[in-house]
Chain A
Amino acid sequence: MRYLALFKALLKMRYIYLKRYYFDTVSMIVTMFLIFLLIFYGAMALLGGATPADSGDTLEGIVVGFMVWTFALVAYSNLSWGLIEEAQQGTLEQLYMSPLGFGWVTIFRVVANFIINAFMVFIVLLLMMATTGKWLNLDMLSLTPLILLTVAGAYGVGFLMGGLALVFKRVQSALQILQFVLVIFIAAPFGWMPFMKFLPLSLGTRLIGQVMIGELSLFQLPPGDVLFLIGNSAFYFGLGFLIFKLFENVARDRGLLGHY
């Protein structure tokens, strides 16, 4: 019950921000959509297709890849930038003092952000599909667990960067560079570089593509791949969280939680 109250408080705060600062929310959706258009029509020109229909699966792949990137980017930046913002405004120490544990506060925050972000990404996805005319398979029963598992890897990276931010404070440059590293993870061509599937996001993006483009359900996917994705996501999420806890300990030892 107490954990539910904590989760509700975090979710409500995120919802209030989304509603109260609607201009920011709308601009984020519009910016994402504009970036997508740029990439999509750029790719179309490179592939030589006069219309989206001529360019086949590659462009559908871009829609899927861009959707995963949006999810990952929002997830990762909400977590790491969020911790920086809390430290800046002096509320991080208050979060830390929750008797339910800072770990749970952070995890619930991540889940609350995911729920809110899912709505925004879904809007961007609908816009993308409407613009390109490529209506993909939206089998939510299969997609929800796959997206959750895939994005968990991005949260792992977010935890890692959040931990670094607690101790080193100014990590903004690294955060910005990592946004583009996420693109490499998503676009990893592990057809000819199999080791790439060990990276976060890579295998997940491919499996999501198989559902959205190949119209397979979760149960039609190779079980080995799904299991590998579970292991991969658990590894990156767990590793990121462990490193975060390690840096949190360092920050407590050096008295840095309230500093920025």
Chain B
Amino acid sequence: METVLHVKDLTKLYRQRRAEAVVAVDRVSFSVRKNEVVGLLGPNGAGKTTTIKCIAGLIKPTSGEIWLDGVDALRRPTRAMEKVAALLEGNRNIYWRLTVRENLEFFAGLQGYPVGKVKGYIDELIELFDLKEKERTTARKLSRGMQQKLALACALVRQTEVLLLDEPTLGLDVETSYEMRHVLKEMAARGERTILLSSHDMHVVQDICQRVVIINNGRVVVDDRVTSLMKLFQASAYRFEIEGQLSAELELKLKGRFPLLALSATDHRTYIDADLEDDTQLYEVMDILRDGRTQIKSIGHKEPNLEEIFLRIVKGS
């Protein structure tokens, strides 16, 4: 499938007067294919927002290349803007004094679409985002969740090939976040847009992204399909169920050998969650447990979630 977004060796340095330059993004490279939904993950300060804003043309990169649907975004920035829309900073991208419909009409106009030409699409978006009852309400009177949905609809009304979503569920309560996730999922399922999404909400990423690019300290550390990552980590993630409690000495011995191992206990059982590099380590754990005279009730593969995988990758890198 054709590549729609291609980022190559993207670097952004922030020069400072009396200190060394801060490296926000360091030779980041990745590609996103047409209609693919890719998650851009990383801890705070990893360079996600800088990467997204460089792609959106809002930050000038120090070096590197950005191609949007065949357009060199750094040489032809205005032409590249035809290809990309962005939702940045949650609910702050809309005009609070305009109504839902007026906002949508304004953003269509900003893209150069006459209102008459996009009326049908605006109606469709209002339906999709369940904003029909509020279409004549000013944005400031909407709930935060609705404002965020409106901001997303305003990005969509620009009808660009690529959509950049920076923290689309930021600051939402559980229920609204779920609702937003549902909308994003539906949008992704329609397969009409190429989406690059950055989020701390791993449920969102796991739910809608086909692939993730994880960056840490400005560099790409993982670029893989979500399913491959899950399989990879599932193969190495084990859960041991032990009868009774572990002695302090045994606990120390296990943690000394496997620092990332997690222990949890109920009244009669102890659970050991371990991410092991290979089968020999599995036997090593069993040897330690045997030497400690513990009774193993069961051993099984643990179902990892993206959040755990993300934490392990970031800690490991």
Contacts and interface: CB of A to CB of B under 8 A. Distances in A.
A98 to B, nearest CB: 5
Q: Taking each of B14, B112, B115, which has the highest tally of chain A beta carbons within 10 Å of its own beta carbon?
A: B112
A252 B62 CA distance: 11
A172 interface: no
Contacts of A100: 78, 110, 112
Interface string B104-131: 0111111111110000000000000000
B50 interface: yes
A91 B112 contact: no
Interface in B65-105: 78-79, 81-82, 84-86, 88-89, 92-98, 102, 105
Contacts of A3: 112
Interface residues of A, number: 35
Nearest to A98: B110
Contacts of A4: 114
- Main SS of chain A's interface residues? helix
Given A89-B96, A91-B94, A99-B81, A9 B59 contact: no
Given A13-B106, A98-B81, A253 B60 contact: yes
Given A90-B89, A97-B85, A13 B112 contact: no
Nearest to A100: B112
A6 B107 contact: no
Contacts of A97: 56-58, 81, 84-86, 110
Interface in A99-118: 99-101, 105
B53 interface: yes
A254 B111 contact: no
A10 interface: yes
Interface residues of B, number: 40
A96 interface: yes
Given A3-B112, A91-B93, A91-B95, A9 B105 contact: yes
A205 to B, nearest CB: 34
Contacts of B81: 97-99
A98 B56 CA distance: 11
Nearest to A10: B109
Nearest to B109: A9
A5 B113 contact: yes
A101 B78 contact: yes
Contact of A94 (B24, B53, B78, B93): B93
B57 A96 contact: yes
Interface string B9-29: 000101000000000100000
A89 B85 CA distance: 18
Contacts of A94: 86, 93, 107, 110, 154
A175 B228 CA distance: 57
B53 A258 contact: yes
Contacts of B79: 99
B148 to A, nearest CB: 12
Interface string A155-176: 0000000000000000000000
B93 A99 contact: no
Contact of A21 (B12, B97, B105): B97
A66 to B, nearest CB: 30
A1 B114 contact: yes
A94 B104 CA distance: 13
Contacts of A20: 97, 138
Nearest to B105: A9
A93 interface: yes
Interface string A215-255: 00000000000000000000000000000000001001111
A91 B97 CA distance: 12
A119 to B, nearest CB: 20
A259 B171 CA distance: 19
Contact of B78 (A99, A253, A257): A99
Contacts of A98: 81, 110-112
Nearest to B160: A99
B114 A255 contact: no
Contacts of A105: 110
A227 to B, nearest CB: 34
A98 B57 CA distance: 11
Given A16-B98, A93-B53, A258-B58, 14 more contacts: A6-B110, A8-B109, A9-B106, A9-B108, A13-B95, A17-B97, A21-B97, A93-B58, A97-B84, A97-B85, A97-B110, A99-B81, A100-B112, A258-B53
Interface of B: 12, 14, 24, 50, 53, 56-60, 78-79, 81-82, 84-86, 88-89, 92-98, 102, 105-115, 138, 154
7 contacts: A5-B114, A8-B115, A9-B105, A98-B81, A254-B14, A255-B14, A257-B58
